Amino acid sequence: MTGGAGFVGSHVSEYYARRGDTVTVIDNLSRARMLGGIGDSLYNWNYLKSFENVELIQGDVRDFGDVKKASEEVNTIVHAAAQVAVTKSLEDPRTDFDINAVGTFNVLEAARARDADLIYCSTNKVYGTNVDRIPVSEGSERYAFADDKFENGIPENFPIDLCNHSPYGCSKLAGDLFVQDYAETYGLRTAVFRMSCIYGERQFGVEDQGWVAWFVIATITGSPITIYGDGKQVRDVLYVSDLVDAFQAFIRSKVKHDVFNIGGGRENTLSLLELLDLLEMATGKKPRVSFSNWRQADQKVYISDISKAQKNLGWSPTTPPGEGLKRLIDWFTTTSTLSADAGSGALSKKE
């Protein structure tokens, strides 16, 4: 499990550890450093120490030696290690490329040496601004695709060429394509999951990544929330345990290789404004909101067409946004004390 101390990675690691499998986690704890020494990678690293069948290796996917060591005895690799923020990729595209593209190449070479199955955590950002060419309609609290062809969302064969992606979208797409090519060229069993907005417990969202968790944190702590744009932008949201179930559905399937758009689908969508309303009802606190200009590479609407995963993997989301949000709020409010630096968006969490 690469990036196993991150949000998604820790949930994958916990799932298989509780099944009784032996789990090897590699993580360089960069998320904790990005958040000033505290954050989900350090928290989850310590959380995973409670499982005797989880081996923790502090290493970096950019170092092939680290990756090779971590993969010596594994049969399946879930590759979640990544630089995950569009804003960071714009500031430092070289580091973004090294982690997301070169790191993925190292993981693929390790998988090829072991003939291990590989699940790659890709992103909806691979479709870039082509998504914005779809006409949208505007309602009082949300945008919607105005073209009936995309009633169920964006399919896996949606164009990726001749558009802006951001460095993050490009580096993740490079990894995405390499995974597909290793399946075709070397016969690896692989799955690419192009993920939409994943949320849930143990996610330390900040302003530029993990927006559902960040809105929860800011609302609970009374920190200001800046919305870039008008707040009507829509995403499909997927509770993290449903994502893990999708990974397991692939592992137990007979699918040799495929690409799946994975998210909540059209039945599990939220606009930013709608999430704020839900949070106020759930917490009794009114979020402190201000508005600013749209950011580069932001999409007004993104909804995953999940019909392929439903058909080929026999998988569907089971956790509606209201229920998942309640679990996330309960975790933040009952397991620890939160504090947030309103100026920087940095978060600390103490037992």
Long-range pairs for 60-64: beta carbons < 8 A, 24 or more residues apart: 60/28, 60/103, 61/2, 61/3, 61/26, 61/28, 61/99, 61/103, 61/104, 61/106, 61/107, 62/98, 62/99, 62/102, 62/103, 62/106, 63/106, 64/106, 64/109, 64/110
Phi, psi of 249 (to 5 degrees): -60, -40
Count CB-CB contacts under 10 A for residue 278.
Answer: 19
Which residues make Cβ contacts (< 8 Å) with residue 159, sequence separation at least 6?
127, 130
Whether 182 contacts 112, CB under 8 Å: yes
Helix extents (H) in 222-306:
240-252, 272-283
The two structure tokens encoding residue 314: 């026999």
Which residues make Cβ contacts (< 8 Å) with residue 285, sequence separation at least 6?
219, 220, 222, 279
Of 208, 180, 201, the C-alpha closest to 192 is 180
Concerning whether 228 is annotated as a catalytic residue, the answer is: no
CA 322 from chain centre, in angstroms, equals 19
Catalytic residue among 16, 143, 168, 199: 168
Q: What is the 3-state secondary structure (H, E, C) of 159-197?
A: CCCCCCCHHHHHHHHHHHHHHHHHHHHHCCCEEEEEECE
What CA–CA distance (Å, rounded) separates 182 from 281? 48
How are beta strands 143-145 and 136-138 bridged, if at all?
Answer: antiparallel
| Residues identified as active-site | 168
